[in-house]
Chains A and B, each alone.
Chain A
Amino acid sequence: MVNVRRYRLVRNIVLATMTAVLLAGMLVPFPRIDDILGQTHRNLFFHVPLWFALMAGMGVSAWHAYRYLKTGDLVHDLRSNEAARVAFAFGLMGIVTGMFWARATWYESAGLWWNNDPKQLMAATQLMVYAAYFVLRGSLDEPVRRARLASAYNLFAAILVPLLLYVVPRQMESLHPGAEGNPAFSNLTAPAMRLVLYPAFATFIGLFWVIYTQRVRIALLERRSEPDL
């Protein structure tokens, strides 16, 4: 199912580039352009790629849900589930890094951790949708029915994601960069940061791939040892 040599190659590349991204992200002195951001602009290398990894993971999950409904092969359902779980973890980290960043830049003096910013609300809602997906899986015993219904809910949620992420936040006021009337982030930070940011995108998506394939292998082995499950 999984090509082990390819897996090792990607894993080693991810290990190397993740080390480089961490070191460069923390240590390289970038010029500060915006006074409010200060050194917190380094969070760019983690917060944004985490969201990219979440989106990639949700995409993989929805794709395998679709493949399951088309083919009826339970391996696709297993992959869909594992992709959703790993992506969920990335999304949680995306929210937490966002909370720290927002506290430092938006409302330090107010002592708040949560501002009900539309971006925060929508992100939390998206994670709630996938939490509901896990609850649904837990309440269905029979593997084929579980796979079918969970895949259907997964795709139903995927259909509504554009509404959550792109339509509704544009109708509410937000402090998030890139929202209506706010400058895009590239105007606030030094151009040199792109040299770290772009590799960071690939690295975090690669990290998702490494964890995801590893979990799929474990799940396949578990299924082989207990064929009835």
Chain B
Amino acid sequence: MLRAALAVFRKDLRQELRRRVAVNTLVVFALATVLVVYFATVRAPLDGRAHAALLWVIVVFAASVGLGRAFTQEVEQGTDLLLRQHVPPGAVYAGKLLFTLLLTGVLGGVAAGVYVLVVGVGVPEPLLLAATLALGGAGLAAATTLLSALIARAQGGAALLPVLLFPVLVPLLLAAVRLTRAALDGGFGWTGTQDGFVTLGAFLGLVVLGAILLFEYVWDE
């Protein structure tokens, strides 16, 4: 099981290193959106709340554009059948999730880093920001992986991902934006953040639970 999951992960990683489609899409999308935000808000005095909201809007939109390829790609190339025959469904999900986590890590790092540099935001609590991006990104990756398997065979699949993804992400976004704001505003440190982290953790746990229970039905033909 674990070996199969790692094999799926290695396969995706190798494919990605050859063409670099997903990473390039994510990074360029994030960069372009940060520039758009910068030009749109030039010299507008934004507070930490607005910066936190904008940063997460960028991350979530980039994710819905760039992370949905995991299963559509298999279906387009006709390799999903091979995968289905040789690997148990749980291992497929785990492997794809690992790869999506990697991509989300790159996305979160690039988006937050460039945003902070270009828009010029001070980060008094960098560790808090990093922890929020990590835990929020993990929840985002888990939900995106499950839903991109769901839409792999739907008409207009790519456009469907945000429609399915955004409503279920609301709890995650509320908590992540509040934590990011605390990290950008500073002053209170980590006090009062446990509610947000509990929500992020609960979201991740529930999504993974849902994936464990439902993925075989989504994946089996």
Chain A positions near chain B (C-beta within 8 angstroms): 69, 121-122, 125, 128-129, 131-132, 135-136, 139-141, 145, 148-149, 151-153, 155-157, 159-160, 162-164, 167-168, 171-172
CB of B155 closer than 8 Å to a CB of A: yes
Q: List 7 A-B contacts (CB under 8 A).
A: A139-B154, A139-B156, A159-B206, A159-B209, A168-B199, A171-B195, A171-B199
List, in ascending order, chain A residues with CB within 8 A of B170's CB: 121-122, 125, 164, 168
Q: Once the chains are docked, how many angstroms separate the CA of A122 from the CA of B170?
A: 8
User: Contact at A153–B150, with CB atoms within 8 Å?
Assistant: yes
> With an 8 A cutoff between CB atoms, is B146 at the interface?
yes
Q: Which of B154, B175, B202 has the most CB of A within 10 A?
A: B154
Q: Which residues of B contact A122 (CB under 8 A)?
A: 170
CB pair B156 A156 closer than 8 Å: no
Instruction: Kindly identify which residue among B146, B153, B171, B202 contacts A156, using a CB–CB cutoff of 8 Å.
Output: B146
Main secondary structure of the interface of A (DSSP, over half): helix
A-B contact count (CB 8 A): 91
B residues near A135, Cβ cutoff 8 Å = 160, 163-164
Interface residues of B (CB under 8 A from A): 146-147, 150-151, 153-157, 160, 163-164, 166-168, 170-171, 174-175, 195-196, 198-199, 202-203, 206-207, 209-210, 213-214, 217-218, 221
A141-B155, A168-B174 known; A156-B160 Cβ under 8 A? no
What 8 pairs between A and B have smallest CB-CB spacing?
A128-B167, A129-B167, A139-B154, A159-B210, A125-B170, A139-B155, A152-B214, A156-B210
A162–B155 Cα distance when bound, in Å, is 30
User: In the bound complex, what is the Cα–Cα distance between A153 and B207 (angstroms)?
Assistant: 12
Tell me how far the C-beta of A29 lies from the nearest C-beta in chain B, rounded to whole angstroms: 42
Shortest distance between the CB of B41 and any CB in chain A (Å): 22
User: Which A residues are CB-close (under 8 A) to B210?
Assistant: 155-156, 159-160
Contacts of B214 in A (CB 8 A): 69, 152, 155-156
CA distance A132 to B160 in the complex (A): 9
**Inter-subunit contact B206/A145 (CB<8 Å):** no
Is B199 in contact with A163, judged by CB distance below 8 angstroms?
yes
Q: A132 to B164, Cβ gap below 8 A?
A: yes
**Residues of chain B with a CB closer than 8 A to A167's CB:** 171, 198-199, 202
**Closest CB-CB distance, B66 to chain A, in whole Å?**
20
Tell me, in angstroms, the Cα distance from A40 to B147 when the chains sit together.
Answer: 43
Q: Report which of A125, A149, A155, A172 forms a contact with B167, defined as CB distance below 8 A.
A: A125
| B203 cross-chain contacts in A, Cβ below 8 A | 160, 163
Chain B residues within an 8 Å CB radius of A168: 170-171, 174-175, 199
Cβ of A164: which chain B residues have Cβ within 8 Å of it? 170-171
Residue of A nearest to B215 (CB): A152
Q: How many Å from the CB of A58 to the closest CB on chain B?
A: 14
Contact of A69 among B163, B166, B217 (CB under 8 A): B217
Q: What's the nearest-Cβ distance from chain A to residue B149, in Å?
A: 9
Given A139-B155, A152-B218, also A132-B199 (CB < 8 A)? no
